[in-house]
């Protein structure tokens, strides 16, 4: 009898030990070593789904079939671009809070548009640009991760453009890397302390973009495909060179360069050894190739999605091999904006074009203010609907800048093509109705604009006599759905047919990581993820 009781105690003890060790192993297996946030600039859900038959099993299909897929992301403000969208994803708030209202801002000293991240206090590494994230006024998910682990977590960002890389890396990131515009080298800013040897050395290797760009030829992969809006299969061929790297950064082949550098970081960065989560941010490009005037359903865009699928597959394969996807979380989103050139130059369409001239807008407002308040250059700049007034001139003439802003907004509302105009001081004053709320979120009052103007849909912002469409932009407010995909070790493939807010992404990632959400994030985690 005693022997039987002893045997039962032994079995019970063994079961307890196995349960504890099994629970520990389970806890370790669900602990993410790496969070990869992929942002695809100008991702379109319609084209993403149209190209599904062309995808292999290891790229988009792997994420779409096994991840938690939300049908659309709404960024909640007007005038979305790459910079403001990425800032919104990582901070969980809007431009009027995080301060990144666009890729550029007006410098009153230089009297010109400059990068919104320009900072003369820091030097560039492999670039003459002097940039930092100091104008990013809200903390990011990466900043919170670094704070939660006392700086032990690593936060890196890779993108074709500086603004995307720096905003994603945040204030506390280890490093941000982008392709500079003169030679095509991977560059960074001395604001960040890390410039790993394997990235520095890569700039001199034959595989680097600066070494390869003169030999890169972009032709369609696979057989030519019919266009979504109809038409015969089309083929194309483009060569690139160091003389026009900004154009290369708006083409499908740039995405291969982003993946190649990411794989180098995955291979040599020691991320697989992490005892705490690390964050890797990647930005890809899926917008229109601007080298020639074509519709948004051009063959180049279809090929871009085919090639993006290859890059996603390369990335997932490398992660699985080096770290294990069981230790990774993948989040993928678009940027919610779509650059739209004017429609085709056929005579029928040309007759229907309606132009809003920035030059004429500035001149008329300046004449109006001179009639009211005397001679002077009252309007310093008008770019993308943002008017900058000369505050020093207003102060010299002892004018209240708030009254001046209101006068300009009221005058602008009378212009043909203007749908909405708002003075900076109206934001947050209780004067904003529901219609103006999205508009109000898009600019930082008094800092990035004195008056914001929103045009009616279909109007073309640009000069009618402009020889090329590069100086023109057709205003569009139609929503093209683009999904948010969350791929985790426990995700089983689920489609959620609803629109989420971009402000929910950062709190959701924070919830998964069990850290605080960014300080300005007010949204709750997605209920499909939160327990």
Say if residues 293 and 341 touch (Cβ distance below 8 Å): yes
Highest mean pLDDT among 18-32, 375-389, 409-423, 510-524: 510-524
Of residues 500 and 474, the one with the higher pLDDT is 500
Q: Which of 142, 262, 242 is nearest to 192 (CA)?
A: 142
Query: Strand, helix or coil at 239?
Result: strand
β-strands 34-41, 328-334: how paired? parallel
Q: Tell me the C-alpha distance between 51 and 49, whole Å.
A: 5
Residue 83 confidence class, pLDDT cut points 50, 70, 90: very high
Taking residues 185-192, what's their average pLDDT? 98
Give the confidence band of 385 by pLDDT, cuts at 50, 70, 90: confident
Residues 6+ apart with CB under 8 A from 167: 83, 86, 87, 90, 100, 117, 133, 136, 140
Q: What's the rounded mean pLDDT across residues 158-166?
A: 98
Bigger pLDDT: 333 or 26?
333
- Per cent of the chain over pLDDT 90 is 67
What band does 246 get if pLDDT is binned at 50, 70 and 90? Answer: very high
Nearest to 305 by CA among 54, 32, 17: 54
Q: For the packed helices 82-91 and 162-169, what is the interaxial angle rounded to 10 degrees?
A: 10
Higher pLDDT, 29 or 124: 124
Distance of CA 445 to the CA centre of its chain: 22
- 477-503 per-position pLDDT tens digit: 656 889 999 999 988 899 999 999 999
Distance between the two ends of the chain, CA-based, in angstroms?
47
Each residue's pLDDT tens digit, 350-383:
556 788 999 999 999 999 999 999 999 999 999 8
Q: What is the mean pLDDT of residues 416-437?
A: 75
440 — pLDDT class (breaks 50, 70, 90): confident
Is residue 67 within 8 Å of 330, Cβ to Cβ?
yes
Any residues with CB less than 8 A from the CB of 377 and at least 6 apart, and which? Answer: 366, 390, 393
Cα 337 from chain centre = 9
Sole residue written with tokens 């650059």: 339
Query: What are the residues facing 146 on neighbouring strands?
Result: none
Nearest-angstrom CA–CA distance, 386 and 120: 24
The enclosing H or E element of 331 equals strand 328-334
Going across the sheet that includes 386-389, the strands are 379-383, 386-389, 451-455, 418-423
Residue 155 burial by Cβ neighbours in a 10 Å radius (0-12, 13-18, 19+): buried
Question: Within a 10 A sphere around the Cβ of 444, how many other Cβ atoms?
Answer: 20
Three-state SS for 100?
coil
Lowest-confidence region among 53-57, 77-81, 134-138, 303-307: 77-81
Q: Which of 65-74, 154-163, 338-347 has the lowest mean pLDDT?
A: 338-347
């Amino acid at each position: 009898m005693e022997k039987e009781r002893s045997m039962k105690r032994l079995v019970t003890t063994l079961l307890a030990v196995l349960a504890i060790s099994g629970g520990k192993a389970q806890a370790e297996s669900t602990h993410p070593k790496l969070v990869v946030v992929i942002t695809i600039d100008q991702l379109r859900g319609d084209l993403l789904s149209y190209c599904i038959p062309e995808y292999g099993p290891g790229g988009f299909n792997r994420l779409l079939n096994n991840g938690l897929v939300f049908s659309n992301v709404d960024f909640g403000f007007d005038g979305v671009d790459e910079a403001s969208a990425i800032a919104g994803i990582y901070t969980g708030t809007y431009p009027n809070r995080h301060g990144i209202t666009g890729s550029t801002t007006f410098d009153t000293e230089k009297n010109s548009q400059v990068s919104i991240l320009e900072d003369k206090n820091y030097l560039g590494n492999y670039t003459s640009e002097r940039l930092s994230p100091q104008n990013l006024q809200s903390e990011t998910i990466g900043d919170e991760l670094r704070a939660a682990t006392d700086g032990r977590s690593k936060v890196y960002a890779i993108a074709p453009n500086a603004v995307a890389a720096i905003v994603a890396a945040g204030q506390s990131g280890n490093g941000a890397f982008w392709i500079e515009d003169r030679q095509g080298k991977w560059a960074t800013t001395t604001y960040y302390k890390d410039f790993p040897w394997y990235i520095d050395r890569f700039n001199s290797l034959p595989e680097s973009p600066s070494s390869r760009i003169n030999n890169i030829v972009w032709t369609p992969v696979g057989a030519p495909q019919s266009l979504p809006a109809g038409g015969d299969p089309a083929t194309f061929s483009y060569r690139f060179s160091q003389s026009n790297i900004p154009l290369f950064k708006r083409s499908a082949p740039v995405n291969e360069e982003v993946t190649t550098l990411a794989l180098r970081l995955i291979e040599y960065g020691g991320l697989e050894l992490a005892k705490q989560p690390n964050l890797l941010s990647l930005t890809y490009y899926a917008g229109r190739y601007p080298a020639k005037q074509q519709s948004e359903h051009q063959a180049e865009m279809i090929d871009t999605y085919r090639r993006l699928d290859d890059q996603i597959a390369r990335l997932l394969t490398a992660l699985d091999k080096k770290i294990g996807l069981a230790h990774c979380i993948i989040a993928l989103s678009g940027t919610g904006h779509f650059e739209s050139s004017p429609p085709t130059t056929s005579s029928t369409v040309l007759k229907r074009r309606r132009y809003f001239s920035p030059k004429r807008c500035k001149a008329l407002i300046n004449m109006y203010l001179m009639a009211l308040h005397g001679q002077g250059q009252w309007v310093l700049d008008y770019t993308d609907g943002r008017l900058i007034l000369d505050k020093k001139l207003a102060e010299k003439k002892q004018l209240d800048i708030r009254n001046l802003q209101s006068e300009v907004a009221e005058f602008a509302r009378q212009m043909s093509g203007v749908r909405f105009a708002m003075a900076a001081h109206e934001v947050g004053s209780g004067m904003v109705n529901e219609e103006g709320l999205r508009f109000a979120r898009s600019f930082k009052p008094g800092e990035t604009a004195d008056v914001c103007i929103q045009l009616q849909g279909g109007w073309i912002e640009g000069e009618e006599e402009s020889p090329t469409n590069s100086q023109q932009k057709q205003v569009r407010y139609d929503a093209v759905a683009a999904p948010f995909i969350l791929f985790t070790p426990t995700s089983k493939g689920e489609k959620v047919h609803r629109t989420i807010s971009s402000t929910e992404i950062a709190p959701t990632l924070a919830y998964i990581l069990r850290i605080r959400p960014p300080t300005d994030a007010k949204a709750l985690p997605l209920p499909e993820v939160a327990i």
